[in-house]
Structures are given as structure tokens and as C-alpha cells.
Amino acid sequence: MKKEFKRFDMKKPPVRTNLFFRTILYVLCAPDWLSHKSVVKKYNVDGLKPPFILLGNHNAFLDFKVAIKILYPWKANYVAAIDGFIGREQLLRMIGLICKRKFTDDTVLVKHLVRIVKNGDIPVIYPEARYSLCGTTAVLPESLGKLCKLLKVPVVVLICHGHHADSPFWNLHKRKVKPVEAEFRQILDAEEVKNLSVDEINRRIVEAFRYDDFAWQKERGIRIKYKGHAEGLHKVLYQCPACNTEYRMTSSGTVLSCKACGKEWKLTELSELKALDGKTEFTHIPDWYEWERNNVRREVEEGTYSSGVLPVHVNTLPNARRFIRLGNGTMVHDMNGFRVTGTDVDGDPFEMIKTVPSMYSCHIEYEYLGKYGDCVDLNTLKDTWYVYPEPDRCDFSITKMALATEELYRAYRRAQGKKFVEGML
């Protein structure tokens, strides 16, 4: 594009919030966690005081509100993606948010986190870096252990249960799940952070992050009456286990179905799947999702994985003002990573290449903001591209691309002979 846009100032120091703003935020968030009857269980936190690092799982916006409930009146700064700042940058900076472009190596952010700890405050990080796709743990970056060693403060985790069951990423309509629960647990004190190896710190974090929202829902017998309970689930469960066809799944009401073979599954009030006729291949949503992952892993191991050439349009977000239409082009995701090319609105060529080693995972959106469709967002330190495949012109699944990104990185690491903690990439 001929016009050069002002970039988001990533270097601007995080704000130490005052008590007035913290109180306003607490009051604004209270109705949501009160309506869900949020229960917080605390473990090994007697005498805990800032500074410490808080790592939270990420299933819904309610995660953030529960964190505010627990941390008030302490001062905290929250790492958030740039699209959350659109049209309200100054306000979000004032309440302590720090901007991050997802899945980039950001040394500036690390400097901000060091500053927060030196201030005696709490950095809050959601290391999964996206909402969970099916209510289970997403991969975690192995850099977490190194970060903890650098900050030299206690490590606390906040694991929320029920937030995905209430408002799953594939259909954000609230299901009125209550009570929801949260575990606020210190897993490492400062002395342990100092003395333990990076690998052992990572293992502690992985163990603390094990959760399964649908198993939690079933164990507590929480029934969901929402008539559109299954709508959108085909975005996650894109491959039929009956006929193995991809990209032909659909959903309506409480029924998930395959347009290729006609098989149907009902999503029950306990969020279990039951075939309306014949064998039920998977009753548990995460089991179906992991079956898809294994199929993608096989393609990667055989060297055959490719999305094909997908026609796309691209929006860019250089700052927090608004999305800007970059232009039209194509995207390929294959054994070499992502490659997006095209022509911008001024007729000039554009290109972004994200190699396999550069991304251990990627961020995706279903029906972004309820009107833009499914997209993959690809980031540099200066820009974010929202890449939208054209559904009328190609078959695709952004879920498969997300799984493939992780499996490609895993295969790359193994080929390099590098060790990693299982559950981290």
C-alpha cells in the first residue's frame, strides 16, 4: 500500500493502575461472575503477596473477569492481543493492559514484564494465546520456564472450569452454566524458581494446566438447555469419523451432521455426542478433536500435508484504530509453513511468509466478530494480517491449519533432535 500507517507503539511502558480504575473495573466485572456463581478455590497461597506471575487458562472473556475478582485490590497488568484494543487503546492502557501480537518472539514484551515485577505488581499472562477450541489445554510455549527464571518471582496459576461449556469458542452464545469454578494455586515459590531447571518448571506448569471443560460439566451433571447447543461445532469437528470426509460437516440446533454420508449426532444436555443411527464413534468432543489431530500428524509425517491454493482476502491491523483492507490474493499452508501473496488495493504486490520454525502454533477465528467469516491471523512484530479464505470458492478448515501448524513445528523440533516437555511446543 502506498500509504504508510502509524504503527501501534509496542514500546510504551505499561501503566501502573490506580485504585480508582481498579475499583471501577472490579464493579463492572462483578455482575458476570456473580450471575455465574463463580466459586474460587485457593491452594498454597497463604501469605502470598505481589510480585508474582499469574498464568491463566483461556476459554472465554469470563476468565479475565474472574482474574480481576481474585486479584483485587492488587495492581496487575494483563497481556492482551492487539485486536482487543481497537477503538479503545487509551482506555485499555489505563486499566493496565499490554498489547501483544500473537505467536511472535517479542523481546519488548519481556522487558515490560520485567518492569512490572520490579514495580512490585503482577503480570497476568494467558500462555495458550487463544481461546481453547474444545475446552481442553492448548499447547504452551516452552519459553515459559525461561521467563519464570528471568522474573524470579512465585508462579501462580488460575485454571477456570465451566467457561468453555458456558460460551464455547465455536458458538459464543451464553448457556447460563453455573456455578463455574476456578482454582487459584501457587505452583512454585521464588526459591523453587531459582533452584529448579527450566524443564522442571515447564513440567510443573503443564501439569497445572490440565483441564477438560466438558468432562468437568459431565462430572457435575450441569445440563444445557440452549436449543442451538451444537451450532458451530462443525468448525472444530470438520472431519467425519464415519466416512473420513473433510469439510462436509455442518450443524444446526443440537445436531451435528455430515453432508457427505448423511450421518448425524445429537449433542446432549451434558455435551455428549450420540449418533442418531448406528455406532457412536466419539461421545466426548475432545476425543474427536484429537482424532483429527492424529490424522493431520500422519499427513505431516508422510510429507503430504497441504491446504492447497486458497483464494483469500486480507485485512491488516497496523494499529488499534481499525481494520484496513489490504487486498486479494492466495494462501498456501503446507510442509513449508504459510505463504500469503496478492495484490493490494493500490495494485502493488504483497507477501507474507511464515516458516515452520517461526510458529509453534497459530491463532484462528470462527465467524470473526460475527460478520467477517473464518480467518487465520498471521503476525509480525509490526503488523497483523487477518487472512480470510473465500468459502464459496474453496474447501478448507482453519482448525486443520491450526492443528497442522502445531504438528509441523513438532516434527521440525524432532528432526532437529531437540527435546521439549510434552504439552509444550
Query: What is the identity of the amino acid at 92?
Result: L
In angstroms, the CA 386 to CA 102 distance is 12
* The pLDDT of residue 424: 80
pLDDT at 2 over 60: no
Least confident of 143-152, 153-162, 198-207, 369-378: 369-378
What does the pLDDT look like over 321-350, one tens digit per residue? 899 999 999 999 999 999 999 999 999 999
Q: Is the pLDDT of residue 145 over 70?
A: yes
**Nine cell digits for residue 220:** 457435575
Rounded Cα–Cα distance for residues 389 and 395 (Å): 9
Quick one: DSSP state of residue 102? T
First to last CA, the chain: 35
pLDDT score of 425: 73
Question: In the chain, what percentage of residues exceed pLDDT 90?
Answer: 88
Q: Which residues pair with 309 in a beta bridge?
A: 332
Mapped onto helix, strand or coil, the DSSP state of residue 30 is helix
The residue to which cell 449418533 is assigned:
275
pLDDT at 407 over 60: yes
β-strand pairing of 249-252 with 255-258:
antiparallel
pLDDT tops 90 at residue 40: yes
For the segment 11-19, the average pLDDT, to the nearest whole number, is 93
* Predicted pLDDT at 247: 98
Instruction: In whole angstroms, give the CA distance from residue 323 to residue 344.
Output: 14
Which tens digit of pLDDT belongs to each residue from 276-305? Answer: 999 999 999 999 999 999 999 999 999 999
List the domains of the chain with CATH numbers: 19-220 (no CATH), 233-268+272-301 (no CATH), 306-415 (2.30.29.30)
List the grid coordinates of 292.
483429527
User: What per-residue confidence (pLDDT) applies to 370?
Assistant: 79
pLDDT band at 3 (very low <50, low <70, confident <90, very high): low
| Mean pLDDT on 50-56 | 98
Report pTM.
0.95
Lowest mean pLDDT among 270-274, 338-342, 370-374, 400-404: 370-374
With CA atoms as reference, report the closest residue to 188 among 180, 178, 198: 198
Can you give the pLDDT at residue 265?
98
Calculate mean pLDDT across residues 379-389.
94
pLDDT of residue 97: 94
Find the length of the chain.
Answer: 425
Q: What is the pLDDT of residues 77-117, one digit of tens each?
A: 999 998 888 888 988 899 999 999 988 888 999 999 999 99
